[in-house]
Amino acid sequence: MLEAVEIETGRNPTGTVLWLHGLGADGHDFAPIVPQLVESHERPLRFVFPHAPVRPVTINNGMAMRAWYDILGFGRGIPHDEVGIRASDIEVGALIVRENQRGIPTNRIVLGGFSQGGAISLFSGPRYPEKLAGIMGLSCYLLLEDLLPAERARANYSTPLFLAHGNQDPVVDFRRGLEAKQLLEAGGYPVEWHAYTMPHSVCPQEITDIATWLRKVL
C-alpha cells in the first residue's frame, strides 16, 4: 500500500477524494488547498494524497523521482510505459479498496489528479469495475487511449468527469487536454470542461470550480 498524506475535514467523513500528484512532486503538493475545497460547515470528506513510487524517468535523463510511470518523450508516436501505468492502476485500486474497508463506498469516492496523476486518474477511473462518484483530470492527457473502448467498465459509463487545462501550458500541450475531452465525450462520458489562462499549474478560479464540482458529485 502506498504511503499517503491524509486530511479529514471533519469527524466521520462521508466521502473520499483520492488525489494523485504530478511528476517529481509528492502527496504534500496539493494538501494545502483542502481548506479551499471544503468549508467547515460542509459535509466532512477525507482527502488522500498518495506518494508515487520512486523510479527512473527517461525524459529527465534517467533521474530517479516520484513518478506514476516512466515518460519516454512527449511527441506523437512515442510509446507509453504500459508496465508502469498498469502497476499504478493496481496501486490506485488498492487505495480504493482500503477506503471501502474504512466505510466509504466506491460511489462516494472521487479519483483525480494533476498532470501525470491526472493521466492515471483518466486511465484507472473509466476502467474501474465499480461506480465512482467522479473522475478528475487536471492539465493531463489520455494514456493508452486506443485500448479504452475494449477495457472500459460499464459501471463508470455515466460517471461525471471534470477536466481542466491551461491554454498556456508549455509542459502538457493544451491540445492534448482538448483531445482527451473530445475522446471521452465521443465515448459518451459526461465531461465538464474548463480552460484557464495559465501555464502548467492550478489557478484560483480552477480551485473554486473544483470545489463546486465536488459539492455536486459528493
d(C-alpha 111, C-alpha 91), whole Å: 13
What's the topology of domain 4-217?
Rossmann fold (3.40.50)
Whether residue 21 lies in the annotated active site:
no
Selected catalytic residue, list 51, 200, 201, 209 = 200
Whether residue 209 lies in the annotated active site:
no
- Per-residue pLDDT of 194-208, as tens digits, reads 999 999 999 999 999
- Per-residue pLDDT of 35-48, as tens digits, reads 999 988 899 999 99
Identify the residue whose cell numbers are 475531452: 181
Residue 160 parent element (H or E) = none
Selected catalytic residue, list 21, 26, 115, 124 = 115
Q: Are 72 and 81 in contact (CB under 8 A)?
A: yes
Selected catalytic residue, list 26, 29, 89, 169 = 169
Whether residue 115 lies in the annotated active site:
yes
pLDDT at 136 exceeding the cut of 90: yes
pLDDT at 181 exceeding the cut of 90: yes
Enumerate the domain spans of the chain: 4-217
- Per-residue pLDDT of 91-118, as tens digits, reads 999 999 999 999 999 999 999 999 999 9
Compute how many other C-beta atoms are within 10 angstroms of the C-beta atom of residue 120.
26
pTM for the whole structure: 0.97
Q: Provide the pairing of β-strand 16-20 with 109-114.
A: parallel
